[in-house]
Each structure stands twice: as structure tokens, then as C-alpha cells.
Chains A and B, each alone.
Chain A
């Protein structure tokens, strides 16, 4: 099996459910293992919410490609330049409950849960490419 999807979303939180539904439909058709559905949904949500909350972007695009070996997720937005690999604040993973800083976990989850993440600024658009291997 091999399938590619190209989808556009308005930068609104209400779009999240449609994005999640599209990922779950593709996952069902391509018979992704449960853990992969979880990882793909989570990283897409994290990136989409960052765009909605911070990017000042117009419509953003999500390109999904699935084959028996890998899942490839690309998110393209026209917002402010933002490289999550270098520009996101580091998460607080150590402090005790009372002192633990709230937030900053989204990008950390993305970097940890995907097998490859790369960023490129092309023209006036952010391109974030994330790859997950299927068999883990």
C-alpha cells in the first residue's frame, strides 16, 4: 500500500478535529499500528497548535505519505520563521512539581517521537518534515 494526501487547514483550533479525523482515516486504510497512529496524531496536533497560536500564518498545508516502510509528514505554513529544532525553549524535565515550568513539551515530544525531523525555510514558508518508521 502507498498513499499520499495533501490537505489545507485554516489556522483555527476548530480545525484540529478534522486534521485528527483525516489522520485516523489514512491510518485505517494503510493499517498503521496503534502506536504509530498515536505518534502521528500527536506530532501533527503539536505542530498545528503552534501554528494556530504563534505563527500568524494563513492557511497551512499538511502532506501525508504512507508506505509499508515509513510515514512521512510535512507541514508547511506561511507564518513567522520558526525552526522548532532550534528556536523552541528547552523543556523542564527535572524540577519538582512545585517548581516545574508549565509548557514547552510539544516540540520535545515531536523531536522524541519521530525518527527524523528536519526544518527548512523556503521563501516565506516554514517546511517541517517528520518521518516515522512503521515497524517499532
Chain B
């Protein structure tokens, strides 16, 4: 699982790879934990490149949202494909994790 990350306007932005499934969810979890480990900060997962996610990936996202919240930050996601957006909706994740159209919108949302 390739994740590149950067800090933009005090927000941690992680660009997620093409697939999060049962065979790489653990790597994804470890990579994300290492990124958010350093304390209070809002986190944006950019799904621009994400083509596929299953419940194994959703599990990691929910656990990450919980960790970020415990640290006093917020987790957001942006740039979802139609299918990934549908999975978020069916899972009820869109009620607890803000979904933004673009990285810029997500960064703006952290300021509100």
C-alpha cells in the first residue's frame, strides 16, 4: 500500500493508493497509524486514486477516525469515485466522516 503524505495548512493530507482490500488492509492500517501518531491534527484522506475499497478497508478508516478524534482532530475524506462514494453511503460512513469533493474543499472545511 503506497501512501504519500504532506502537511498543508497544518492539515495532514494522505494520498491513498488504488486498492484497499483484505490483502493489504493491515499494511494500510500500519501506514496510517504511523502517520497520525504524532498528535493532535486534522487528517484528510485523499481518495483521488482509490478505485476499490471493501469492508476490510472501511474497518481501518473507522478505526483511524476514532484515533484521530481521540487526539482531538477530525478525519475527512475527499475526491471519492462514484463507487467508493456509494460504499461510504451504504455503510453509513458519510454520516460520521465528512466527504468533500476535492482536497481544497476538505482543507477549507477544516477551517470551519
Q: Knowing A93-B91, A97-B69, A112-B90 are in contact, say whether A45-B59 is a contact too (CB < 8 A).
A: no
| Residue A70 lies at the interface, judged by CB distance under 8 Å to chain B | no
> How far is A17 from B52 in the complex, measured between Cα atoms in Å?
13
Contacts of B36 in A (CB 8 A): none
Query: Pick the contact of A97 from B54, B66, B83 — CB < 8 Å?
Result: B66
- Contact between chains at B22 and A13 (CB < 8 Å): yes
Q: Knowing A102-B63, A108-B90 are in contact, say whether A35-B96 is a contact too (CB < 8 A).
A: no
- Contact between chains at A45 and B21 (CB < 8 Å): yes
Contacts of B91 in A (CB 8 A): 91, 93, 105, 108-109
| Residue A113 lies at the interface, judged by CB distance under 8 Å to chain B | yes
| Residue B87 lies at the interface, judged by CB distance under 8 Å to chain A | yes
- Contact between chains at B23 and A97 (CB < 8 Å): no
- Contact between chains at B65 and A46 (CB < 8 Å): no
Q: Knowing A20-B21, A108-B91 are in contact, say whether A35-B54 is a contact too (CB < 8 A).
A: no
Q: Which parts of B69-95 form the interface with A (CB within 8 Å)?
A: 69-70, 82-83, 86-87, 90-92, 95
| Residue B62 lies at the interface, judged by CB distance under 8 Å to chain A | yes
Contacts of A95 in B (CB 8 A): 96
| Residue A124 lies at the interface, judged by CB distance under 8 Å to chain B | no
| Residue B56 lies at the interface, judged by CB distance under 8 Å to chain A | yes
Chain B proximity of A40: nearest CB distance (Å): 11
> How far is A103 from B60 in the complex, measured between Cα atoms in Å?
10
25 contacts between A and B (CB under 8 A): A13-B23, A14-B23, A16-B21, A20-B21, A38-B83, A42-B52, A45-B21, A45-B22, A46-B54, A48-B22, A49-B56, A93-B91, A94-B92, A95-B96, A97-B96, A98-B70, A103-B59, A105-B59, A106-B54, A106-B55, A108-B90, A109-B55, A109-B87, A109-B90, A109-B91
A residues bordering B, Cβ < 8 Å? 13-14, 16-17, 20, 34-35, 38-39, 41-42, 45-46, 48-49, 91-98, 100, 102-103, 105-106, 108-109, 112-113
By Cβ-Cβ distance, the 7 closest A-B pairs, closest first, are A93-B92, A106-B55, A38-B83, A105-B55, A49-B22, A45-B54, A97-B96
